[in-house]
Each structure stands twice: as C-alpha cells, then as structure tokens.
Structure 1
Amino acid sequence: MIKIHPYSKLPIQSVQEELDQLNYNLNKMIAADNPILYSAAEQLFIAGGKRIRPIIILNTAKFISINKIISIEQKRLAEITEIIHTASLVHDDIIDNCDTRRGINTVHNVFNNKIAVLAGDFLFAQSSWYLANLNNLNVVKTISKIITDFAEGEIKQGTKSFDNTISIDEYIEKSFYKTASLIACSCKATVLLNTNSISENNDFYLYGKHVGLAFQIIDDILDIVSTSEELGKPAGLDLKNGNLTASLIFTLNKKQKLYKLINQEFQFKDNLDEAINIIKQTNSIQKAKDLAIEHIQLAIHIIKKKQLNNKNSIDLILICYYILNRFS
C-alpha cells in the first residue's frame, strides 16, 4: 500500500510560465463579436479557479517529453480542456440552480438561463474549433468523447435524482462521465500528441481516470462537511438537488431515517441539516474518503512504475496528494 502524505498546494513551479500564458490565451480564445455573449463567456473566467486540469496536462506533457519541452499543440490542448470544463460548469449551474460559484454570481444569475445556455454552447463550439485545428484525428476523437460523456453523466444523474436505490457502482459510473472522463481523455490526448505508444496512452488515461474519480469523491464529501463560504457556492447543494453521493449512499443501510428524508426530497426546511447530521454520526464520510484513497493509490502506482527521478513525475504524484488532502 502506498502511504499518502499530506500536501496542501498544487505543484505549479515547473509549469508556471506555461500556466501564465494559458491564462492570457484563454481571454483571447473566448472573444466574440456579440458583446453580451462575450460578457457572459468572460464571466465564466472571472472567478479563476486552480486550473488543475491544465496543470495535469502540462506536467504530463513535460513528463513524456525527452527534452522536457511542451509542444504548441499540447499547450493548446490544455487551453481547450479548460474551456470545455468551464462550459460544462455553466450548464451544471443552470441544472443545479446554483447562484454562486467560487464566491461570485453564476452566469445565469447575472444574465438569465437562455444567455447562460448560449454562453456554454459558445464555449463548447470554440473548443471544438480549436480542437479541429490541432489536425490530429485521434486527438479529436478522444476529446470529442468528453462532451458526449458530460451529457450522459447529466442524464444518469437526473434519472437517479432522489433515488435511494442508487449503488456505489452507479455513483462511480456517473462520476466518471461527469468528471473523470475529461481528465482521463485529456491525459491520453496529451500523450497522443507526442507518441502513438499504446501502453503510454493507456497508462495516462488510467492515471487521469483515477485522479478524476478521487477528485469528484472528495468534492462530494466537501459539499457535506464544508460551509458555503469555504466552498464558494451553496453547501449541501448535491443533496438538495437529489444528487446522492458516496457518503450518503454508505449511510443508507445504517440509518433508515434517511430513506424518509430522501422520499420527502428534503422539502422541509430542516430536512437537509438533519440528513447531513445523520451522515456525520456514522463512519460514512471516512468510508467515502477511503474510496478516494483507493483511486489515488492506483494513480500514484501508475506514475511510480515510471522514472521517479523525473521532476514532473513527482509533480504528478503531488497532484494526487493535493486532491486527497483538500479534505483532511
């Protein structure tokens, strides 16, 4: 078993220059002639974010490069990935009726649902155009699957809303479509831009998959244990919207009262707080964290099979530690 060490910061030093350029380029890439559309799209980037997906891609690119140089295409892929991720957030916020994200008003809250949907669609279209210009059919196929997976994930989540029969396997499957697919496919595409090695493609796809699943599991735990101020968005939103996550699923067989609260769809004012308190009374949050640890261990094992004296391989492992230790 791999020992998990506490690490609270994202390792960005080795890719800081590329990350600064990425932030500059994103504003240029979302430019639109229509001022309302541009303003809506720009709103998505105001809150910033940690850019964890581009950081993973840039470190992967340096790791697999003989001369540690990131190609122009790989840099553009990191930008495309962040645009796709951001586009998915605006649609998620509409579906989840989330009024704030990272402490600022969401696009549909600033404008309206129609403008927000169009802004998200515009970003997906922009990412597709830049993706096509990479002139790599295998990469286009790999990244295009992400958008399909987003839709499938939302449908799976919607059909299981307030469904107290949901299993952990179904939760993991939905989490893959909504979160892990983006990181897995992006890692694979980064390798495809450098080599056609099937084993390398598979390794980094799996690394991204396990990192993505761990990220989502921890994110879902934070939704239960954190405050709205800490999250930058309303706490308990998953449960309120009927999105039953790992901690709750692990609690179901221990606390029958949860079934009643779920069946009532947390319609009464204190139902949500009561459900969260019930979850906290069990070891279910720790069990959910243990599930995230399993995926982190698998991701770390993939990188540790490779050259450990590589600075970027160390950073890929530190990213794993950071993801896990968002919740301590």
Structure 2
Amino acid sequence: MKTQEIFTVVEDELKILNKNLKSMVGARHPILHAASEHLFSAGGKRIRPALVILVAQQTSRNKEISPSHRRLAEITEIIHTASLVHDDVIDECMTRRGVTTVHSLYNNKIAILAGDFLFAQSSWYLANLDNLNVVKTISKVITDFAEGEVRQGMLQFSSHISMNEYIEKSFYKTASLIAASCQGSAMLSNLNHSTQNTYYIYGKHIGLAFQIIDDILDIIGSKQNLGKPTGSDLKNGNLTAPALFTLAEQLELQYLIENEFENDSDVEKAITIICDGQGIKKAKDLAEEHIQTAISSLPQNNFHNEDESLYALVMIGEYILQQI
C-alpha cells in the first residue's frame, strides 16, 4: 500500500461522512447554518474520522463498522471544526483551508457562537451514543482544548518555553482529540480496557507527530498549500518545535522573538534563521520518534497488506511525514 492509497480503504465511509456532516449541523438560524456549512464545504484532511473508521475496521468482527462508529467519526470532525473556529478568532486568522474564516466572513460574535453551537451539537450526538465511557472520554477533549489555548496564551513570545511545555500544549490542542477518538472507537468495539488504552497511546503519538509536522509546515509551507499565511504561528508568538530547536543555537532569533517581531520584516528574518539552522530537521526527527512510538503500540501480529486497516494505521505515520 502506497501512502496516497491509505484513504481509499475508508473512501466510501468518508463520502458518507461528508454528506452527513452538513445535515447534522443544520441550525434553525440561517446565519449559524451558513457558518457551519461554510466550514464543512472547505473540506480538510479528515484524518481524525479516517482514524476512527480504521480503528473500527481493525477491531470489529468481520471488519464491520457500526452506526455508532460512524457517528463517532462525525462527532470527532465536528469537535475539531468547532475548535478551529475559536482558534481562528484568537489567532486573528483570515483564511483557513484556503477559504475565508467565519469571523472574517461575519464577525467575532458570530464565529464564537458558531463554534459554541458546534460543540453543543457534538455533545448532543455524543450523549445519544448511549455509551457512558465514550462520553466521558470524548467530552474531556473539549476541556483539553481550553487548557491548550490558555497555556499557549500564557507562553506567547516566551523564548524560555521548554520542549516539554510545547509537547504538553500540543497534546491538549491536537493529540488529545485523536487519542480519545481512537480509544472511543475501540470502546465501541467492546475491546478490553488494556487494548482500548493501546489505541489511545497510538492516537496520542500520531497526534503529536501530526502537530509537529503541521508546525514545520507553518515555517516552510506555501500559503497556497497551507490555506493560510506562512509563519502565522510565529507571528502570533506561538513558538513551536522548529523555533525551539533553533533558539538553542541562534541568539538573533531570541532577540526577534522577545521584541515581538517589532519590524515588518522580522517574521521573514526569523523564518530564514530557522530554515538555515537545524531546527526543521530536529523537529522532523522528533515527529518520527512519535510515529515509531505510535506504531510500536499497535498489535504486532499482522503488519502486512492482507489486513488493510491495520496496515493503513501504520502507513498513516508515513503519510504525515510526507506532508513536508
């Protein structure tokens, strides 16, 4: 299986998901409905629901995916999208996935309400799964998002942030949802607690790798590929792995950060410093370490092409790395 073929394993399921998402968020108020539909029409990687479906295929009898598994995949994407709406307001991001953000299209008030509405919708569908353990696991993610945003806000433009603090923040903002949704999928397959935890660990480290690669792309990607301006995180004072690794070897970068990029050209200068150093390579190495940890947590008995879903879970790590 080639990395570009990973999503063909769940292609039909993702088509159903895309169709269902718009109907699930149908609101009575036309502006909330328009804001929600605008978000889902922008698409996205859909890596989170894909992981839910792959875990479901890998853990269910006869590879059958239950309606509850499908609904969990949809809930996961709604929660993720809700978090993006709020993130865009906080980061003052004008575009996302190549389209205008909700707060730019309407205003901050509508964007916050749209995000709240999506969180509320996801909670309602989550409760209707009638599985208390899954509800507990997934609902914790929403508090993790808030924790991650608070931590990020407190560490803005701080050149003394440690790698551990960065990893913790990345867990709360990204990996928590992926870990919980993988575990939730295993719960819906009625696996034992130990095996459920295996998929949580897999999702956690895949999520951390995904965030690290996303942070690298913020430095080296193009606006066209990112769907938002390059260096957005850096400009907002959100220091990520490439910058943190570079700080250890470049005092000039520390000066630019601590002065909050006071000149118009300072962000570009910082990006050049990071790209010229070892920060990008070291960040990619860190992502690879998390991918290896994720893979090693999976059942070890069948890593070959005959078990497509398990092999796809392994190859997702390679897919993530190939984004840069």
Relative to the length of structure 2, the TM-score reads 0.97
Mapped partners of 1:27, 1:172: distance in 2 = 33
The alpha-carbon deviation at position 10 of structure 1 amounts to 5.6
Mapped partners of 1:50, 1:326: distance in 2 = 11
SS at match of 1:326: coil
More off after superposition, 285-294 vs 34-43: 34-43
**TM alignment of 1:34-73, pairs within 5 A:** 34-73=29-68
Mapped partners of 2:65, 2:190: distance in 1 = 13
- Per-residue deviation, residues 233-274 of structure 1 (Å, max 9, x unmatched): 011000100000001111112111112111110121110011
- Per-residue deviation, residues 114-138 of structure 1 (Å, max 9, x unmatched): 0000000000000000000001100
Amino acid at match of 2:321: L
Is 1:201 the equivalent of 2:196?
A: yes
Mapped partners of 2:185, 2:3: distance in 1 = 26
Of 289, 292, 308, which residue of structure 2 is paired with 1:311?
A: 308
8 Å CA contact retained: 2:103, 2:111: yes
Of 287, 303, 319, which residue of structure 2 is paired with 1:322?
A: 319
Of 129, 147, 154, which residue of structure 2 is paired with 1:134?
A: 129
Mapped partners of 2:301, 2:164: distance in 1 = 30
Of 157, 175, 178, which residue of structure 2 is paired with 1:180?
A: 175
More off after superposition, 297-306 vs 192-201: 297-306
8 Å CA contact retained: 2:145, 2:173: yes
Judged with a 3 Å threshold, the aligned counterparts in structure 2 of structure 1 residues 287 and 163 are, in CA distance, closer, same or farther, namely same
Is 1:117 the equivalent of 2:117?
A: no
Is 1:283 the equivalent of 2:274?
A: no
Give me the identity figure in percent. 57
Task: Name the counterpart of 1:211.
Answer: 206
- Per-residue deviation, residues 176-202 of structure 1 (Å, max 9, x unmatched): 000000000000011111114112111
Stretches of structure 1 that go unaligned for 5 or more consecutive residues are none
8 Å CA contact retained: 1:10, 1:322: no
8 Å CA contact retained: 2:89, 2:103: yes
- Per-residue deviation, residues 130-164 of structure 1 (Å, max 9, x unmatched): 00000110000000010000000000000000011
Is 1:260 the equivalent of 2:266?
A: no
- Per-residue deviation, residues 73-126 of structure 1 (Å, max 9, x unmatched): 010000000000000000000111100011110000100000000000000000
Give the paired residue count: 322
The alpha-carbon deviation at position 307 of structure 1 amounts to 2.5
Of 211, 216, 229, which residue of structure 2 is paired with 1:234?
A: 229
Task: Name the counterpart of 1:98.
Answer: 93
More off after superposition, 14-23 vs 148-157: 14-23
Mapped partners of 1:300, 1:48: distance in 2 = 27
What is the CA RMSD across the aligned residues, in angstroms? 1.2
Mapped partners of 1:19, 1:269: distance in 2 = 42
**4+ long deviations beyond 3 Å:** none
8 Å CA contact retained: 2:14, 2:50: yes
Stretches of structure 2 that go unaligned for 5 or more consecutive residues are none
Amino acid at match of 2:88: D
- Per-residue deviation, residues 10-36 of structure 1 (Å, max 9, x unmatched): 612222221111111101100011101
Of 130, 150, 156, which residue of structure 2 is paired with 1:155?
A: 150
Relative to the length of structure 1, the TM-score reads 0.96
8 Å CA contact retained: 1:8, 1:326: no
SS at match of 1:214: helix
